[in-house]
Structure 1
Amino acid sequence: MVGRATDMAPDVAIVGGGLAGGLLALALAARRPDRRVLLIEAGENLGGNHVWSFFLSDIPVALRWLVKPLVAARWDGYDVRFPAHSRRLNSAYRSITSERFDAHLRASLPEGSILTGVAVAALDRQGVTLADGARIKAGAVVDARGAQSFPGLLGGWQKFVGQMLQLEAPHGLERPIVMDASVAQEEGYRFVYALPFAADKVFVEDTYYTTSPHVERDVLAQRIAYYAQAQGWRVKQVLGEEQGCLPVVAAGRPVLHDGADGVARIGSAVALFHPLTGYSLPTAVRLAGMLADLPDLSGRAMAKAAADYARDHWQAGAYYRLLTRMLFGAAQPECSYRIFERFYRLKEGLIERFYAGHSTGLDRMRILAGKPPVPLGAAIACLLGGGHPLARLDDVMQPQTAQTGEVEQR
């Protein structure tokens, strides 16, 4: 625990020291140094135990200062591989490790601004009640605790196991393989993700789009070992591991709030992620910047601004939810890769805007134009609201865990 200052009476109390909460704390510390911020996290480390990766074009230029100190590795391009198509793209790609995230937060926030290893029993517009009964009064309260289930939503899951591998010899990768779908397609759309952190160190993740949230850790870990062997890599040691399950949304209605109770809610609990990729970092950065620049940082003002942002984000995601319906509702699981294989034949600028969630009208028409990579009848059924049944996303997700040291890519 750091700075057990329950008598601090901060201007802003942020509950949840993950990606959304941590970015907001950093933005407030930089933009509003006159305000006292308290970041409360149930775990011992801020940011958990993850690798977050993103395209630099995902982040508005005016907000790149917020993520720049967090970046642990950077590359000027990436590769994709499919059974009938491979491509090298020039978009800048970055990765943040939770270790660096934690260290930068502790270095950037004033002493006494962080409480870790502290469970929260309740919160309201006037403050936070800890599990031990202690009460922290606050001028504004932000709930950034995330979600374990998503009632009211339909779609599927992107589940994964990733390992940081120390190799016996250099791997030979010049840039990341962001999507290797040349591997056997099992359960649903499957791809492998490889990030070269050093000449002899690579982060490899086995990822599936599926209707089940269950992560078979041992199976996926074995497939990572097989993948490394197929690349000619000899693994000396597994330095770290993560596993997780991200929601991908096709339909429904999330649990949104109007901010009337005076508590600002941010993060995955209010569906602040890309509906098809599950990526949350770009949205978390934009929202942190917007909230930190509010002229009024009262609880009521922050709650309303966050609620408006979540509502607008949900409305803007309608097109991407349609694409998710195509992926889960129209494609046969073993043929789902064809959707992404076709997508990665399009122009690079279109691909960048897609991942950033800023597809133009022309982009949207181009993605859907031509012969669909799924059966035509199934595609039409999905466009009309039909197709194969979608999974309910109110199943409880397995928590992301780590069996060993170093390392929510997304």
Structure 2
Amino acid sequence: MSRRVIDLAIVGGGLAGGLAALAVHRAQPQLRLGLFEAGESFGGNHRWSWFTSDIGGAGSELLTPFRKTEWATGYEVFFPGHARTLGSTYCSLASRDFDAALRRELPQEAIRTRSRVAELAPDGITLDHGERIPARAVVDCRDFEPSPHLNGGWQVFMGRHLRTGSPHGQKRPIVMDARVDQHDAYRFVYTLPLGAEELFVEDTYYADAPVLDRSALSGRIDRYCDAMGWHGDILGGETGVLPVITGGDFSAYRRGLGEPGVVRIGARGGFAHPLTSYTLPFSVANALQLAREATLPGEQLAALFEKRAHDHWRAMRFYRQLGRMLFDGARPEQRYRIFQRFYRLNEPLIERFYAGRPTRLDRLRVLTGKPPIPIPAAVRALLGKGSPLVHEKAR
């Protein structure tokens, strides 16, 4: 890539950045792009999953180039007092397939892996070895940064990719299996049958602290797989710690991200589902919006997405309230009861809930009926502020 000004410098080659680059290139192929990723591949080591109802037709079309696994037969949930099969089509995308599609679809000059960005400014970026790249607009798509300006809890997880020695017999995803010891958190195991003899098994915790104990989680996955009769070779895995945002000063958080004039989208920009930590529906929507407006001057793009971020924050208020009740109103070992009750509701409501598009009636329905936690505890949680989202290191 030459030193002349490029149109868009997209920093961060994860889900938000990769989809943004793809959408802009497809809609505005005349624009010069750079997709800058610190690692050796786009998407890192990760797996993203979603329901088809989470995105519209344009979003589905954007995802067409990616090799995905889809389950049209629905998915299952299991709780100590409730089990259910739901009919929504579920999809999953692995980072290796994400990387392969981007390398195939994007111009070669746009692909900048092993390019760690040290500084971002509205008119360009500086790589850690000193190279300065001028740009008409800079788009920050990096991962979420913990911040004392935001409050909440954490979603901690470890996933394992397993090849079984014989057919495992699991026909559809298990999105939540909470029939497991809770270990001072809302714990569930998530399973994707990727093939007749291939599984992805993830142990997940809604925990008060961002502590990822690899040894403990690995042992618990071992025991779960033993109980399910799944044995075989480990092909790989992933770990993660994601924020579950329940409140805070969003304006202060956005100001703390850096110099004004940079376009900020993705998880760092605040575009995530506060309760589930899902980012894919919002990454798709932001990528399509960026593609429509990509020819605007950088400062106008930044202002557009600044407003979009605050609109998203206001729209997600209901989920942050639920998150406060989850973390501050329910005892950790009883948190599963909230989800157990939720999965008794009608399926269209559940679909809208995950997509971040609940109706007023949906909100009312979620909150009415026999409460899964004591009402005084729920009131105290709603009136409280919660704990700052400050990170700790994994063990």
With the shorter chain as reference, the TM-score category is over 0.9
Q: Which of the residues 104, 109, 114 maps onto 2:111?
A: 114
Give 1:322-401 correspondences, 5 Å limit: 322-383=321-382, 385-386=383-384, 390-396=386-392, 398=394
* Residue of structure 2 in register with 1:48 after alignment: 44
Give the Cα–Cα distance (whole angstroms) in 2 for the partners of residues 260 and 157 of structure 1: 27
**Larger deviation, residues 8-17 vs 30-39:** 8-17
Give 1:270-281 correspondences, 5 Å limit: 270-281=269-280
- The answer for unaligned runs of 5 or more in structure 1 is 400-410
**Larger deviation, residues 259-268 vs 96-105:** 259-268
**Secondary structure, in 3 states, of the residue corresponding to 1:204?**
strand
* Residue of structure 2 in register with 1:403 after alignment: none
Q: Would the alpha carbon gap of residues 305 and 349 (structure 1) be closer, same or farther in structure 2, given more than 3 Å must change?
A: same
Give 1:20-99 correspondences, 5 Å limit: 20-76=16-72, 77-99=74-96
Give the Cα–Cα distance (whole angstroms) in 2 for the partners of residues 238 and 334 of structure 1: 30
TM-fit CA distance, 1:18: 0.8
Give the Cα–Cα distance (whole angstroms) in 2 for the partners of residues 108 and 80 of structure 1: 36
Give the Cα–Cα distance (whole angstroms) in 1 for the partners of residues 349 and 187 of structure 2: 23
Give the Cα–Cα distance (whole angstroms) in 2 for the partners of residues 12 and 234 of structure 1: 47
* Residue of structure 2 in register with 1:256 after alignment: 254
TM-fit CA distance, 1:140: 1.0
Give the Cα–Cα distance (whole angstroms) in 2 for the partners of residues 259 and 359 of structure 1: 32
* Residue of structure 1 in register with 2:124 after alignment: 127
Give the Cα–Cα distance (whole angstroms) in 1 for the partners of residues 240 and 391 of structure 2: 14
Deviations 1:71-94 (A, max 9, x none): 421001100000011000000100
Letter aligned with residue 390 of structure 2 = D
**Secondary structure, in 3 states, of the residue corresponding to 2:43?**
coil
TM-fit CA distance, 1:390: 2.8
**Secondary structure, in 3 states, of the residue corresponding to 2:64?**
helix
Say whether the 8 Å CA contact 2:121–2:259 is kept in structure 1: no
* Residue of structure 2 in register with 1:17 after alignment: 13
Q: Percent identity?
A: 50
Give the Cα–Cα distance (whole angstroms) in 1 for the partners of residues 28 and 317 of structure 2: 34
Give the Cα–Cα distance (whole angstroms) in 2 for the partners of residues 133 and 296 of structure 1: 28
* Residue of structure 2 in register with 1:307 after alignment: 306
Say whether the 8 Å CA contact 1:16–1:42 is kept in structure 2: yes
TM-fit CA distance, 1:260: 8.1
Structure 1 residue 216 and structure 2 residue 213: aligned? yes
Letter aligned with residue 20 of structure 2 = L
Say whether the 8 Å CA contact 1:259–1:304 is kept in structure 2: no
Give the Cα–Cα distance (whole angstroms) in 1 for the partners of residues 245 and 122 of structure 2: 30
Give the Cα–Cα distance (whole angstroms) in 2 for the partners of residues 138 and 364 of structure 1: 43
Deviations 1:322-370 (A, max 9, x none): 0001101111111110000000000000000000010000000000001
TM-fit CA distance, 1:8: 5.0
**Secondary structure, in 3 states, of the residue corresponding to 1:262?**
coil
Structure 1 residue 151 and structure 2 residue 152: aligned? no
Give the Cα–Cα distance (whole angstroms) in 2 for the partners of residues 233 and 398 of structure 1: 27
Give the Cα–Cα distance (whole angstroms) in 2 for the partners of residues 125 and 90 of structure 1: 46
Alignment: residue pair count: 391
TM-fit CA distance, 1:381: 2.2
Say whether the 8 Å CA contact 1:268–1:280 is kept in structure 2: yes
Q: Would the alpha carbon gap of residues 125 and 397 (structure 1) be closer, same or farther in structure 2, given more than 3 Å must change?
A: farther
**Secondary structure, in 3 states, of the residue corresponding to 1:390?**
coil
Q: Which of the residues 196, 200, 213 maps onto 2:193?
A: 196
Give the Cα–Cα distance (whole angstroms) in 1 for the partners of residues 267 and 294 of structure 2: 25
Q: Which of the residues 235, 247, 258 maps onto 1:239?
A: 235
Q: Which of the residues 83, 99, 104 maps onto 2:101?
A: 104
Give the Cα–Cα distance (whole angstroms) in 1 for the partners of residues 282 and 30 of structure 2: 25
Q: Give the TM-score of the pair, scaled to structure 2.
A: 0.96
Deviations 1:162-183 (A, max 9, x none): 0000111111011000000111
Give the Cα–Cα distance (whole angstroms) in 2 for the partners of residues 347 and 334 of structure 1: 26
**Secondary structure, in 3 states, of the residue corresponding to 1:145?**
coil
Q: Would the alpha carbon gap of residues 259 and 393 (structure 1) be closer, same or farther in structure 2, given more than 3 Å must change?
A: closer
Give the Cα–Cα distance (whole angstroms) in 2 for the partners of residues 33 and 8 of structure 1: 18
Alignment RMSD (CA, Å): 1.7
Structure 1 residue 268 and structure 2 residue 264: aligned? no
Give the Cα–Cα distance (whole angstroms) in 2 for the partners of residues 164 and 113 of structure 1: 31
* Residue of structure 2 in register with 1:406 after alignment: none
Letter aligned with residue 206 of structure 2 = Y
Deviations 1:294-336 (A, max 9, x none): 1743211211111111111001111000000110111111111
Say whether the 8 Å CA contact 2:11–2:139 is kept in structure 1: yes
Give the Cα–Cα distance (whole angstroms) in 2 for the partners of residues 160 and 318 of structure 1: 25
Q: Would the alpha carbon gap of residues 94 and 208 (structure 1) be closer, same or farther in structure 2, given more than 3 Å must change?
A: same
**Secondary structure, in 3 states, of the residue corresponding to 2:109?**
coil
**Larger deviation, residues 89-98 vs 262-271:** 262-271
Letter aligned with residue 46 of structure 1 = F
Say whether the 8 Å CA contact 2:6–2:33 is kept in structure 1: yes
TM-fit CA distance, 1:151: 2.6
TM-fit CA distance, 1:186: 1.2
Q: Give the TM-score of the pair, scaled to structure 1.
A: 0.92
Structure 1 residue 207 and structure 2 residue 204: aligned? yes
- The answer for unaligned runs of 5 or more in structure 2 is none
Deviations 1:3-25 (A, max 9, x none): xx242531111011111111100
**Secondary structure, in 3 states, of the residue corresponding to 1:213?**
coil
Say whether the 8 Å CA contact 2:24–2:294 is kept in structure 1: no
